[in-house]
Each structure stands twice: as structure tokens, then as C-alpha cells.
Amino acid sequence: MRSAAITGTGLYVPGEPIPNSVFDERHQEEIDQYLVEHRNIHQRYYMSDEQATSDLILPAAREAMKAARILPETLDLIIVATDTPDYISPSTAAVVQYELGAVHAGVFDLNTACAGFVTALDVAEKYIRSDEQYRHILVVGAYGMSKFLDQDDYKIATLFADGAGAVILSATADNAGVPPDNGILASLLYADGSYHDYMGIYAGGTRMPVTHSRIEAKDTLLRFVKRIPPETNARHWPRLIGNVLTRINKAPEDVHRYFFTQININSIRQTLDTLGIPHDRAHNIMHKYAYTGSACIPMAIADAADAHLLAPGDLIMLVGSGGGISMAVLALTWSYQT
């Protein structure tokens, strides 16, 4: 049976770092200390007015292809996971395909909010397993949330940032250096749609079209309408991780690195405590990039690869969580020397 493995990674953030002190000065509040102590956020990056989400994806995608030693025309499929697309229609993946010159690649976007990248990776793996025409798939998580933030609401605006992370997922049968039993091992998706109206960007679709006369400016921005229980991730993550590990006959301590959605450092630590795992098993990047939604997990993977923290044979666990609520957990064996 065919399997699929990550053969290249890349990340990109736009512009210059914006430190927490900018918000201290703007709002005349002690914001930096809270963000550092409770969120592990020190700085973030915002795209320019002229940039769109696809502009963040392209450098990350090129870096991933370079690492995988493939050319754009080698790609068979491009999946972009984002809830901040260039347009409602057509897909951002179509823009990426054109700009890369990936003339043989099919394309589509996928939106499960911040669980999007792990979900997209799961989908890509199933394409490779089930159909021999798919050999190399570009899977991207991208986030341009700065364009949907109310900067007067510093309790929300200071958390979010822009960036993109990309991986090349390849069929192991087409990569002589990758053992056939390496790659993606198991996955699990979970959702509780009763939370669909708790947080989101609610204007722009058919429920609330921007042409509607009653649309207000706030409706076009990210809104936290109701309070999601803060223990939600720490309650579900250990259960979902345990389910996936049981299916591959592994225990939490067998995982070399955990890559979590980077929204709340306390949820990550509570989950690791529940699993009985030291905190340094999680590779965190929010101190450098703040919260980049569907991009944060592939950015963290690329960051770990760049730091030579991953070696062939390492078992790693991806744990994504986003609005909706949607969650996605995936276990894989790392497949190349970084």
C-alpha cells in the first residue's frame, strides 16, 4: 500500500516584527507583560496593504519545493488551508498554481478555520494512498488575519498575526530515500458545530452578504460573539491524541515532538501535563510569530526542521484546533534529514 511522507517544508512571514511594546504605547496599557506570561507572545508580523494571502504562500511554497528538490510542474495537486482567502471565489489555490507555474496541478481551498492545515494534510495523504497519479502535493496553511482585526480591541488584535507554512507531501514509492513505512500513520477529525456562532468573520457569505443594507463595519471583522470555554482544547486534545496513538500502538512518551495550534501556551502545557509529557516536547513558535491560525502548525514544523530538531524516524504529532469548533490530530514519522 502506498504511503505519504513530508519531503520538504517552508515558512514565510511578511514585513518587520511588531513588538508588544507597540500596543503598550498605543493603548496606554500594560499589554506586553500579560501576552508574554499568559500567551508566550512577544511579537508578530502583519502583511502590507498591498499584499494578499497568496503573497504569503508563494515564498513558503518555493522554500518547501526547494527542500523537496522538485519543480512546480512536478506538483499534482495544491491544497490551501485558510479562512482568510484572497477572494470568496475563485480559490486562493488557483492563484498559487498560476504564480508558481504549477501547470499540471489540480487545486482547491479548504476551510476548517485553524484546524485547516492538519485537515488538509489528512486529505492529501488520502489522495496519495488511493490514486497513483498523485505523487507530490503542496499543502499550505496560510493566514492573513491582520486585515480583519479591530485594532481598538487590543484583547483580540494583539493575539493574531499573518504568515504561511507549506509542506510537500510525496508518495514514498516515488522517493528512494524514504522507507515505505514512513510518513503519515493515523489521523482523527472532531467537531462540535454548536460553536459555529461563537467566533468568526460573519459577513461576506450568503448568510450575511456584504451588499446587505444592514451590514455594519464590525460584521466584516473577526468577532468573538460568545465565550468559548477556556478549557476546551485541554479537555479534548489528550483524548484525541490518545485515540490516534492507540491505533498505531504508541504511547504519549513515544512522540518526539508535538506541534499544537499556537493560540494558548497554557492549553498546550495542560495537555502535556495530562499526558505526563515534559513541556519541552512541544515545539512552540508563538513567541516569534504570535498566532497565525491555520499557518501556525506548518510554520512550527518548518521552524523545527530549520533548527535541525527533526531526524528520520522521529514520531511527531500534529494537533490542530479552530473555530466551529473543529479539531484535527495526525501522527507521522519524519522522513528526511534536516
Check pLDDT > 70 for residue 177: no
Residues 143 and 162 sit within 8 Å (Cβ to Cβ): yes
Regarding whether 210 and 138 lie in a shared domain, the answer is no
179 falls in which pLDDT band (50, 70, 90)? Answer: low
Regarding whether 239 and 125 lie in a shared domain, the answer is no
Tell me whether residue 95 is in a domain: yes
Per-residue pLDDT at 230: 84
| Across 267-287, average pLDDT | 97
Q: Which range is least confidently modeled, 3-7, 204-208, 268-272?
A: 204-208
Per-residue pLDDT at 41: 97
pLDDT tens digit sequence for 87-125: 999 999 999 999 999 999 999 999 999 999 999 999 999
Q: How far apart are CA 231 and CA 253, in angstroms?
A: 23
Check pLDDT > 80 for residue 237: yes
Per-residue pLDDT at 181: 63
Per-residue pLDDT at 212: 76
Tell me whether residue 296 is in a domain: no
Tell me whether residue 72 is in a domain: yes
Average pLDDT of the chain is 94
Tell me whether residue 205 is in a domain: yes
Regarding whether 191 and 155 lie in a shared domain, the answer is no
Q: How far apart are CA 107 and CA 80, in angstroms?
A: 8
Last residue of a domain, one of 174, 197, 230: 174
Regarding whether 146 and 84 lie in a shared domain, the answer is yes
Regarding whether 245 and 124 lie in a shared domain, the answer is no
Tell me whether residue 251 is in a domain: yes
Regarding whether 204 and 124 lie in a shared domain, the answer is no
Q: Which pTM does this prediction carry?
A: 0.95
Residues 183 and 32 sit within 8 Å (Cβ to Cβ): no
Tell me whether residue 338 is in a domain: no
- Tell me which of 230 and 108 has the higher pLDDT: 108
Written in H, E and C, the secondary structure of the chain is CCCEEEEEEEEECCCCCEECHHHHHHHCCCCHHHHHHHHCCCEECCCCCCCCHHHHHHHHHHHHHHHHCCCHHHCCEEEEECCCCCCCCCCHHHHHHHHHCCCCCEEEEECECECHHHHHHHHHHHHHHHCCCCCEEEEEEEEEHHHHCCCCCHHHHCCECEEEEEEEEEEHHHCCCCCCCCEEEEEEEEECHHHCCCEECCCCCCCCCCCCCCCCHHHHCCEECCCCCCCHHHHHHHHHHHHHHHHCCCCHHHCCEEEECCCCHHHHHHHHHHHCCCHHHECCCHHHHCECHHHHHHHHHHHHHHCCCCCCCCEEEEEEEECCCEEEEEEEECCCCC
Closest alpha carbon to 65 in 258, 295, 302? 302
| Across 225-230, average pLDDT | 88
pLDDT tens digit sequence for 297-322: 999 999 999 999 999 999 999 999 99
Q: Which domain holds residue 15?
A: 4-174
CA separation (Å) from 7 to 64, 128, 141, 215, 333?
A: 8, 14, 16, 45, 11
Q: Which range is least confidently modeled, 85-94, 129-138, 279-288, 329-338?
A: 329-338
| Across 170-196, average pLDDT | 82
Last residue of a domain, one of 137, 152, 174: 174
Regarding whether 13 and 119 lie in a shared domain, the answer is yes
Per-residue pLDDT at 218: 81
Last residue of a domain, one of 131, 154, 174: 174
Record the cell numbers describing residue 185, joined without a space. 500513520
Regarding whether 131 and 242 lie in a shared domain, the answer is no
Regarding whether 167 and 42 lie in a shared domain, the answer is yes
Check pLDDT > 80 for residue 176: no
CA separation (Å) from 289 to 43, 44, 47, 282, 302?
A: 6, 5, 13, 16, 13
The angle at the Cα of 130, spanning 125 to 133, to the nearest 5 degrees, equals 90
Q: How far apart are CA 295 and CA 160, in angstroms?
A: 11
Record the cell numbers describing residue 17, joined without a space. 516584527
Residues 90 and 108 sit within 8 Å (Cβ to Cβ): no
Q: How far apart are CA 145 and CA 162, in angstroms?
A: 6
Q: How far apart are CA 75 and CA 311, in angstroms?
A: 25
Per-residue pLDDT at 36: 95
Expressed in angstroms, the distance from the first to the final Cα of the chain is: 26
| Across 150-179, average pLDDT | 86
Tell me whether residue 305 is in a domain: no
Check pLDDT > 70 for residue 180: no
Per-residue pLDDT at 101: 98
Regarding whether 76 and 22 lie in a shared domain, the answer is yes
State how many domains the chain has: 2
Q: How far apart are CA 226 and CA 54, in angstroms?
A: 31
Regarding whether 142 and 14 lie in a shared domain, the answer is yes
Q: Please report, rounded to a whole number, the percentage of residues in the chain having pLDDT higher than 70.
A: 97
Per-residue pLDDT at 214: 77
Regarding whether 123 and 215 lie in a shared domain, the answer is no
Check pLDDT > 90 for residue 266: yes
Instruction: Report the CATH number that the domain containing residue 247 is assigned in CATH.
Output: 3.40.47.10
Per-residue pLDDT at 172: 87
Tell me whether residue 303 is in a domain: no
